[in-house]
Structure 1
Amino acid sequence: MAPSPSVSSRTIFLSSLPSDPTVVFQDSSFFSRNNGQPLPTLSEVLAKSVVQNSAEDHERDRPPPVFFESLGLAVKFGRDGSVSISEGQCQWALRRVLPEVPVPEIYGWSTEDDYVLLYMEMVKGVTVEKRWPSMTEDEKTGFWGALSSIVSSLRTLSQDPDDQFLGRIDRSPYYDVSFSNPNRPPAGPFTTVKGFHDWLSLMIRQGIDVHWPGMKPEEIPDPYREMLPDDAQVVFTHADLHPSNIMVNPDSPSTIIALIDWGQSGWYPDYWEFCKAEYTAEIGSEWHGYMLRFLEEPKAIDGFIEYTRALGY
């Protein structure tokens, strides 16, 4: 059956996403490159973490990823919800639906005890955070042109017209450091932008009802609510475009090899990508100056700042 006119080859359907708790992509390059060697077990990953990470980092719910260099393998892992298979689903989908966006190849994922492990390509490159100070003006201009193009490409993705929502790619609640908190209700999924904004508004009013005797949180005035545009478009968003998450070719740093760390990604209002990227930038820095040249600052930036500050980010 031919797709309807509203459905394109860049549409992501939930039914197409691998969703089992443990998935191995036998057709991935890992197995052809390593003669069918199996992916490391949890015990092997933890043993590698003891060697590669400090004792303090190893004990975190989400230690730094570990690398099996001879296998060309990186393993991102964590427990208690700090890592989700939705990140692996995102990388799997983008490689197939949007190949012009550079993401690490995903080889599989597994769940064991309370751990989730994501097995992926070990990207050979350097973060633009490390390379930026020694880049020429032409290289910096080329880099930002490439990043702007990638962001534009992400926005060409579409959802199933019969199942549109705001949340992670698998329709699970958002995991965004600016508002996610185990002490708050789950952040979605939401069926409308207004629903998401109303949730943010309610979250900043919870706990301050002691200053408004006799009023419920939803009855407390919110002076910032009108600063969030309910008519914003919903687009696919990386949501953490910090320079430490952008890998470039060390010899040609205007070439972006991969965007990494898709753990906060999902379907967000269209202003979210810029706002999150700017919020982690040093205002007035050269990096921020290039950002303003190549990415359009949305009108919602002031509202975003007020809400994230109120939420403790």
Structure 2
Amino acid sequence: MKTFSKSSFFMERRAPSLPSPADIRALNVKTGNASAWNFNSPPPVMIPSLGLVVKYGASVSIVEAETQMMLREQLHGRVPVPEIFGWTEDEGQTFIYMSLAEGDTLSNRWDDLSDDARRAICEELNELVNLVRTLEQDPRDMYIGSLSKRPLNDIFVMHHPDLTGPFLGGDAVEQFQNACGIYIDIDTPVVFTHNDLLPPNIIISPGANPKVAAIIDWAQAGWYPAYWEYCKARWIRVNPRYFSDAAQDDWRNKYLPMILDSVDDETIYHPWLYFVLSKGI
């Protein structure tokens, strides 16, 4: 197991060591949730007494942890990203140990929030997205891919090896769009992208005037064309058990444009959507 002795978990001496993978699996099974047996993507295990959440499964990658560490370091903590305490691999599953954010998901709180509270959260998210977009690549070493020139982990391309890249060089956008069959102007900036910016992945603080406590689930993050974040956030449908269709329509049409710059339907969104639908995704 790789651990980070300078992380708050160890500096505050919350426990002598992080729980073992066997301990984490046992805690998950103990909840009685049938999904705890899912090998690829079981529910994360939360241990509030240790300020700890463990995300694990065969589909989990250490790149996600490295991405969060990069963001915390490069942005000096200005974007609330869970702190990484350690990681390990065991019996075909990867375990990421990170800080537990106090609060609840935006999707769970949505119906109880006033329009003013929703707008305030969206304005804060806009500032955070803009901070993430201050990250820059070396103009002599451009690429589209996950952190450190690894293949993309986007759900729309991950099962198409010819689309995951990485795509290297000054013409990375053109390479990527040609591979995907996306006919959009290639003069598009490459920006660091969360790539799953939806209400279930936004934790807000308790109380009447909540703030963004954390942005979680950076599994699909990486360097993408600037339009990708908005297009994907507009298209993805959250399971209505967790976020009703009516709430999602409100989110997409009214609030999402407060967070991300919207794009022209004819020249950007529809060509992007054609790519998604044509691949049967």
TM exceeding 0.5: yes
Match of 2:83 among 105, 114, 122: 105
Aligned length: 265
Please report how far the alpha carbon of residue 170 of structure 1 lies from its aligned counterpart in structure 2 after TM superposition.
2.7
Residue number in structure 1 paired with 2:269: 301
Kept in 2, the 8 Å contact 1:179–1:311? The answer is no
Distance 1:136-1:175 versus aligned 2 partners, 3 A rule: same
User: Where does 1:265-276 land on structure 2 (aligned, <5 Å)?
Assistant: 265-276=221-232
Q: Is 1:59 aligned with 2:38?
A: yes
The aligned amino acid for 2:150 is: S
Q: Is 1:25 aligned with 2:4?
A: yes
Which runs of 5 or more residues in structure 2 are unaligned?
Answer: 238-244
Distance 1:110 1:294 in 2: 35
Match of 1:169 among 147, 163, 188: 147
The aligned amino acid for 1:112 is: D
Match of 1:286 among 241, 247, 250: 250
Kept in 2, the 8 Å contact 1:131–1:250? The answer is no
Distance 1:196-1:126 versus aligned 2 partners, 3 A rule: same
Please report how far the alpha carbon of residue 40 of structure 1 lies from its aligned counterpart in structure 2 after TM superposition.
1.3
Q: Is 1:310 aligned with 2:278?
A: yes
Kept in 2, the 8 Å contact 1:179–1:308? The answer is no
Residue number in structure 1 paired with 2:242: none
Distance 2:255 2:5 in 1: 41
Match of 2:180 among 181, 184, 200: 200
Q: Secondary structure, in 3 states, of the residue corresponding to 2:275?
A: helix
Q: Secondary structure, in 3 states, of the residue corresponding to 1:159?
A: coil
Distance 1:31 1:129 in 2: 32
Residue number in structure 1 paired with 2:200: 244
Q: Secondary structure, in 3 states, of the residue corresponding to 1:170?
A: helix
* Deviating more after overlay: 287-296 vs 104-113: 287-296
Residue number in structure 1 paired with 2:65: 88
User: Where does 1:8-19 land on structure 2 (aligned, <5 Å)?
Assistant: none
Distance 1:117-1:242 versus aligned 2 partners, 3 A rule: same
Distance 1:231 1:23 in 2: 41
| TM-score normalised by the chain length of structure 2 | 0.88
Please report how far the alpha carbon of residue 109 of structure 1 lies from its aligned counterpart in structure 2 after TM superposition.
1.1
Kept in 2, the 8 Å contact 1:128–1:253? The answer is no
Distance 1:274-1:254 versus aligned 2 partners, 3 A rule: farther
Please report how far the alpha carbon of residue 195 of structure 1 lies from its aligned counterpart in structure 2 after TM superposition.
1.0
Distance 1:55 1:47 in 2: 13
Q: Write out per-residue CA displacement over residues 204-223 of structure 1, whole angstroms, 9 at most, x where no aligned residue.
A: xxxxxxxxxxxxxxxxxxxx
The aligned amino acid for 1:264 is: Q
Please report how far the alpha carbon of residue 293 of structure 1 lies from its aligned counterpart in structure 2 after TM superposition.
4.1
Kept in 2, the 8 Å contact 1:143–1:253? The answer is no
Which runs of 5 or more residues in structure 1 are unaligned?
Answer: 1-21, 202-224
Q: Write out per-residue CA displacement over residues 2-34 of structure 1, whole angstroms, 9 at most, x where no aligned residue.
A: xxxxxxxxxxxxxxxxxxxx5311000001223
Match of 1:190 among 167, 180, 201: 167
Please report how far the alpha carbon of residue 53 of structure 1 lies from its aligned counterpart in structure 2 after TM superposition.
5.3
Q: Is 1:160 aligned with 2:138?
A: yes
Q: Write out per-residue CA displacement over residues 83-115 of structure 1, whole angstroms, 9 at most, x where no aligned residue.
A: 111100011111111121111111111122321
The aligned amino acid for 1:258 is: A
Distance 1:293 1:59 in 2: 36
Please report how far the alpha carbon of residue 69 of structure 1 lies from its aligned counterpart in structure 2 after TM superposition.
2.1
Distance 2:7 2:161 in 1: 38
| TM-score normalised by the chain length of structure 1 | 0.79
* Deviating more after overlay: 277-286 vs 246-255: 277-286
Distance 1:246 1:53 in 2: 26
Q: Secondary structure, in 3 states, of the residue corresponding to 1:247?
A: strand
Q: Secondary structure, in 3 states, of the residue corresponding to 1:111?
A: strand
**Structure exhibiting the larger radius of gyration computed from Cα positions:** 1
Residue number in structure 1 paired with 2:23: 44
